[in-house]
Structure 1
Amino acid sequence: MNVDKAMEKLKEEGYKYTDKRMDMLQLFKDESRYLAAKDVLEALKDKYKGLSFDTIYRNLSLFSDLGILETTELAGEKKFRFTCSTDHHHHHLICLECGKTRHIEKCPMDVSPVSAEGFAVTGHKFEVYGYCNECQES
């Protein structure tokens, strides 16, 4: 996903173009890592005086609902990043320090599928947490 596609998706779904939304999406493009709502607020507070945490969180939730952002939970906090632009199925390694991600190309469900009588699997999410090389060195 990129900023232009994200703004197009918002328009297609009947949502307004706003500078705040554009700047929020640009932040995700520039950072290319998982960010918490408080990170977004911190980055935009000087430009948008009076910007509230609720406004940030509502927009992040909207972006997530529309498939623009994907979410994860790290240390009890919901974090967001642009949805991957790759079409193939994959999972992520996520750095607990900086939030950067790397793709895991092999799916554990291919190796050991989960099934249970009376249960139809419709999707899954697999994430591995740790520290990237840069964060290990610091």
Structure 2
Amino acid sequence: MDTNKMNTKQALNLLKQNGYKYTGKREDMIHFFDKENRYRTAKDLLHHMEPNYKGISVDTIYRNLHLFHSLGILESTDLNGEKHFRMKCDHHHHHHFICKNCGETKEIHHCPMDKIVQELDSYEVEDHKFEIYGFCPACK
């Protein structure tokens, strides 16, 4: 388990600091991502929530996922044509290998921008994102 990612308590504090209500439903949503060490979909979250929240809507799931993403609680990626989310890493600069089957992530500590920036010497790079996709040892 990645111990350098945001946890449920930190995420709920961030929610409160930004003036959003703390609810049991939001805590359960955040806890779902906290216990995972991989990217998960809105559909995964919906399946997790349905037994305890009968009639929970897809709209509620998406609205909260986008709120959590905009506050920096979750990070996202597009995988197989669908948006996937995971708890935001809260430490040093790094990138991820992402399993295309199960969504597991592994940190990559080498940054390709160290070489690429030399080719962009007259450009101003504001940000970048680098992800490698493939299959983890359990899925290959």
1:95 equivalent to 2:119? Answer no
Aligned length: 134
With the length of structure 2 as denominator, give the TM-score of the two structures: 0.92
**CA RMSD between the two structures:** 1.2
SS of 2:21's partner is: coil
1:5-40 C-alpha deviation (Å, 9 max, x unpaired): 000000000000011110011111122210110100
2:9 matched residue in structure 1: 4
Which residues of structure 2 form unaligned runs of 5+?
1-5
Q: Determine helix, strand or coil for the equivalent of 1:60.
A: helix
Partner of 2:109: 105
Q: Distance in 2 between matches of 1:110 and 1:116?
A: 12
Q: Which residue in 2 is equivalent to 1:17?
A: 22
Match of 1:71 in 2: 76
Percent identity of paired positions between Structure 1 and Structure 2: 54
Other-structure match for 1:54: 59
Inter-partner Cα distance in structure 2 for 1:54 and 1:66: 18
**Structure 2 Cα separation of the partners of residues 72 and 54 of structure 1:** 19
Where structure 1 has 5 or more consecutive residues not aligned to the other structure, the ranges are none
**Cα distance in 1 between the residues matched to 2:129 and 2:79:** 14
Q: CA deviation at 1:116?
A: 7.1
Identify which range, 28-37 or 90-99, moves more after superposition.
Answer: 28-37
The C-alpha deviation readout for 1:43-95, integer Å capped at 9, x for no partner, is 1101001100110011000000000000000011001000013x211000000
TM-score by length of 1: 0.93
Query: Aligned partner of 1:108: which letter?
Result: P
- Show structure 1 runs of 4+ deviating over 6 A: none
How far is 1:102 from its partner?
0.4
